Amino acid sequence: MSRHGKPQQRQPLILPDAAPMGGGDGGRGDAATRRRRFVAFLAISVALVASYHHLAPAPASRYHALFVSLGNNDTAAAHLRALTLRPHVAGTEANAVAAEYVRAALSSFSFPTRVTPYSVLLSYPIHRSLSLSVPGRAAAFNFALVQETYPGDPYSEAAAEVIPTYFAYSASGSVAADVVYANYGNTKDYEYLASRGVDVAGKVALVRYGNLHCEDMVRNARAAGAAAAIVYTDAKDFGGAGAKGKRKWFPDARWLPPTGVQVGTLYYGNGDPTTPLWPSCAAGEDCERLSKGELDGSAAMPGIPALPVSARDGEMILKAMGGDAAPTEWQGGEGAPLYRLGPGPAVLNLTYIGNDTLATIENVFAVIEGKEEPDRYVIIGNHRDAWTFGAVDPNSGTAAMLEIAERLSKLEKKGWRPRRTIIVCSWDAEEFALIGSTEWVEDNMDMLASRAIAYLNVDITVFGPGGFRPRATPQLDQLIKEASKMVQDPDDPSQTLYDTMIRHHPPIDRVAGAGTDFAAFLQYIGVPSLDMSYGTISAAVTPLASTNIIALAVEDYPVYHSLYDDYVWMERFGDPLFHRHVALASVWGLIALRLADDEILPLNYVSYASELEKCTKLVEGGCTGCPVSFAPLHKSIDQLRKAANKIHKEKMMLQAENWSLKTRAYTVKVRDINERLMMAERGFINREGLDGRPWYKHMIYASSDQDDWGTKAFPGIVSAIDKANKLNTTESWHLLQHEIYRAARAVSKASAVLDGRLT
Greatest extent of the chain over all pairs of C-alpha atoms, in Å: 132
- 10 within domain boundaries: no
Q: Do 746 and 683 contact (CB within 8 A), yes or no?
A: yes
- 142 within domain boundaries: yes
Length of the chain, please? 759
Its sign, for the CA torsion 125, 263, 388, 428, is: negative
Domain boundary, last residue among 570, 597, 624: 597
- 42 within domain boundaries: no
- The reply to whether 498 and 557 lie within a common domain is yes
CA 571 from centre of chain = 24
- The reply to whether 176 and 316 lie within a common domain is yes
**What is the b/e burial string over 309-326, where b = at least 16 CB atoms within 10 angstroms of the residue's CB?**
bbbbbbbbbbebbebeeb
- The reply to whether 407 and 462 lie within a common domain is yes
- The reply to whether 147 and 75 lie within a common domain is no
CA 382, CA 455: separation in Å to the nearest integer?
Answer: 11
Structure confidence at residue 137 (pLDDT) = 84
Amino acid type, 25: D
The partner residues of 117 in beta bridges, in order of sequence, read 362
Q: Which positions ≥6 away from 365 have C-beta within 8 Å?
A: 113, 114, 115, 116, 423, 424, 425, 426
Task: Give residue 559's domain range.
Answer: 60-121+357-597
- 664 within domain boundaries: yes
Domain boundary, last residue among 597, 630, 652: 597
Structure confidence at residue 23 (pLDDT) = 39
Structure confidence at residue 247 (pLDDT) = 84
Structure confidence at residue 242 (pLDDT) = 64
Based on C-alpha coordinates, what's the Rg of the chain? 30
Q: Do 256 and 559 contact (CB within 8 A), yes or no?
A: yes
Apex 65 CA angle, 64 and 71, nearest 5: 95
Q: Do 55 and 3 contact (CB within 8 A), yes or no?
A: no
pLDDT along the chain (759 residues), means of 10: 35 33 42 49 40 52 95 96 98 98 97 98 98 90 97 97 98 98 96 98 97 92 98 93 76 96 96 97 95 93 98 97 97 94 96 98 98 98 98 98 98 97 98 98 97 97 94 97 98 95 91 86 96 75 37 72 98 97 98 97 96 94 94 98 97 79 85 97 96 93 68 88 94 97 98 93
Q: Quick count: other Cβ atoms within 10 Å of Cβ 469?
A: 24
3-state SS class at 623? coil
Side-chain-facing half-sphere of 50: CA atoms under 13 Å: 6
CA 246, CA 159: separation in Å to the nearest integer?
Answer: 27
- The reply to whether 109 and 161 lie within a common domain is no
First to last CA, the chain: 46
Structure confidence at residue 53 (pLDDT) = 39
- 389 within domain boundaries: yes
CA 257, CA 249: separation in Å to the nearest integer?
Answer: 5
- The reply to whether 559 and 494 lie within a common domain is yes
- 46 within domain boundaries: no
Its sign, for the CA torsion 486, 492, 498, 501, is: negative
User: Alpha carbon of 429 to those of 19, 336, 505: distances in Å?
Assistant: 78, 37, 33
Domain containing residue 461: CATH number: 3.40.630.10
Domain containing residue 150: CATH number: 3.50.30.30
pTM of whole model > 0.85? Answer: yes
Q: Do 462 and 535 contact (CB within 8 A), yes or no?
A: yes
Least Cα distance to 480 among 638, 592, 567 occurs for 592
Q: Do 562 and 260 contact (CB within 8 A), yes or no?
A: yes
- The reply to whether 187 and 325 lie within a common domain is yes
3-state SS class at 129? strand
Q: Which of 403, 406, 430, 611 is catalytic?
A: 430
CA 644, CA 754: separation in Å to the nearest integer?
Answer: 7
3-state SS class at 216? helix
Residue 430 falls in the annotated catalytic set: yes
- The reply to whether 729 and 657 lie within a common domain is yes
Structure confidence at residue 620 (pLDDT) = 93
- The reply to whether 275 and 147 lie within a common domain is yes
Domain boundary, last residue among 578, 597, 616: 597
Structure confidence at residue 661 (pLDDT) = 64
The partner residues of 462 in beta bridges, in order of sequence, read 534
Give start and end residues of each alpha helix (H) in 573-688. 579-597, 606-621, 631-656, 664-679
- 392 within domain boundaries: yes
Structure confidence at residue 712 (pLDDT) = 74
How large is the angle between the packed helices 664-679 and 631-656, nearest 10 degrees? 150
Q: Which positions ≥6 away from 692 have C-beta within 8 Å?
A: 705
Parallel, antiparallel or unpaired: strands 347-368 and 173-181: antiparallel
Apex 463 CA angle, 461 and 466, nearest 5: 100
Domain containing residue 697: CATH number: 1.20.930.40
Q: Which positions ≥6 away from 7 have C-beta within 8 Å?
A: 1
Its sign, for the CA torsion 172, 178, 180, 184, is: positive
Domain count, the chain: 3
- The reply to whether 257 and 340 lie within a common domain is yes
Q: Is it true that the peptide bond before 302 is cis, omega within 30 degrees of 0? A: no
- The reply to whether 300 and 339 lie within a common domain is yes
Q: Kindly tell me the burial class for residue 78, based on how many C-beta atoms sit within 10 Å of its own C-beta (0-12, 13-18, 19 or more).
A: middle
- The reply to whether 128 and 261 lie within a common domain is yes
- 247 within domain boundaries: yes
